[in-house]
Amino acid sequence: MKKYNIAIIGATGAVGQEMLKILEERNFPIKDLKLLASSRSAGTKVEFKGKEYTIEETKEDSFENIDIVLCAAENEISEKFSPIAVKAGAVVVDNSSAFRSNDNVPLVIPEVNGEDVKNHKGIIANPNCSTTIALTAVNELNKYGKIKRMIVTTFQAVSGAGVNGIKELDQQVKDISQGKDVDVDTFQHQIAYNVIPQIGHADEVGYFEEEMKLQIEGRKILHNPDLKVNCTCVRVPVYRSHSESITIETEKEISPEKARELLSKAEGVKLVDDLDNNMYPMPLNATDQDLIYVGRVRKDISGDNSLVLWCSGDQVRKGAATNAVQIAEVLVKENLV
């Protein structure tokens, strides 16, 4: 099997570290591995498959002889270095939001629109984690009866805000247990024993930026420019894995029984829907694996051709790192690199 030279930008961050873990788990065909990060992380030692690697500072000359770049850095880093990597001959799979809305950049969930990888011009974008979880969950339903409208509420774990989100929840719980005042830094309000219905900045009509991503990205991924989405995003005091309540309105009726049949065979999905035994998706169960757990499938009693479901998925893995590695696997399988 042919092997490839891989570089990871942001290799010391949470998603970059998860990418390394996924590459090893899935036995990706790596010839040489280059781990890149900021100047302050340069020199750090990282182990991969029993071999020690040294983190290098990301520079303009970092991409010579690299085949695939997995970018786990913030927008400004990706905007700067992704075009440089492409010019050097690499294909970039970018986890930031820098290129998601670019008409010339495919936005890909392999289980949903993996064929779009073939249209790349050097950069392929990873969707927002909540988008990936939602669209993986409803993909087979959309194939059976095209989705016209989605009403979604997301329940997003603190790790979605990075390691500081986890630290803040931990510290606040400790401080409260000791009767101390809590410090608020990462989030807008205390997150311990609380929920915060704000992720990002508000637009002129009162939607936060995280809430618009599902409609913008969903239209592109599903090739459905008329898709309508109403989304509310909520930060919850859960360490890892996002959950979502999703109502879909479809062009033709899908019974709950038919939906369960479709979901039981859906790629990337695990149907967990046994109310008699209290079985339904929960973030604890969905954590540290790559399937989107889907359950609580039921008819929407407030509308026609409408279903309700509940799903949970690991936003660090399938919502970010695994999805990027899966895109790289498509590149390899289809000889696109």
3 state DSSP class of 20: helix
Active site residue 201: no
Catalytic-labelled residue, pool 71, 129, 231, 311:
129
Interatomic CA distance for residues 225 and 217, integer angstroms: 10
Active site residue 129: yes
Interatomic CA distance for residues 216 and 19, integer angstroms: 26
Interatomic CA distance for residues 203 and 210, integer angstroms: 11
Interatomic CA distance for residues 19 and 35, integer angstroms: 11
DSSP 127: P
3 state DSSP class of 96: coil
Interatomic CA distance for residues 50 and 44, integer angstroms: 16
The burial class, CB within 10 Å (0-12 / 13-18 / 19+), for 29 is middle
Long-range contacts of 74-79 (CB under 8 A, 24+ apart): 74/10, 77/9, 77/10, 78/9
- Residue 149 CB coordination number (10 Å): 16
Determine contact, residues 307/141, Cβ cutoff 8 Å.
yes
- Residue 310 CB coordination number (10 Å): 22
Catalytic-labelled residue, pool 120, 233, 242, 311:
242
Interatomic CA distance for residues 242 and 31, integer angstroms: 34
- Residue 2 CB coordination number (10 Å): 9
- How many whole angstroms from its chain centre is CA 162? 13
Interatomic CA distance for residues 45 and 127, integer angstroms: 30
Residues catalogued as catalytic: 129, 242
